[in-house]
Amino acid sequence: ILEKRIAESEKETIFVGKDANRLPNTSCFITPGWKGETQVMVMDLAGFAVSAGSACSSGKVKASRVLQAMGYDETQAASALRVSLGPTTTETEVLRFAEAWGRENEKRRSRQR
């Protein structure tokens, strides 16, 4: 449901490992033109804890080497956001996040016009 809502908000978003076997509670996505570190700050102010890049790059400001090794360029890797859901995360919370992310993305896009 998270990835579906994000994709509806931003058609250019790329979901890392979309067709691979992966954990169902974690999503990493790249939104061209929106740095991951900026998304982390914006979503933190909205009340959500997320990370930029891959788990292996957690806490680092530069682009994820893991994402680059997976074939994403440096700009794409620097625009990645990772969202992990816990065992007690509710559907309502996921929808709240997706709505907040969509609002912030729309603000970003309107500033770029």
Please give the chain's pLDDT, 113 residues, in tens: 999 999 999 999 999 999 999 999 999 999 999 999 999 999 999 999 999 965 554 555 678 888 999 999 999 999 999 999 999 999 999 999 999 999 999 999 999 87
Is 110 among the domain residues? no
pTM of the model: 0.90
The per-residue DSSP string of 48-88 comes to ---EES-GGGTT--SPPHHHHHTT--HHHHTTEEEEE--TT
Is 40 among the domain residues? yes
Is 47 among the domain residues? yes
Is 70 among the domain residues? yes
Is 109 among the domain residues? no
Catalytic residue (choose from 41, 56, 69, 95): 56
Is 111 among the domain residues? no
Domain assignment of residue 32, given as a range: 2-104
Look at the chain and report how many structural domains it folds into.
1
Q: Respond yes or no: is residue 28 known to be catalytic.
A: no
CA-based end-to-end distance of the chain: 29
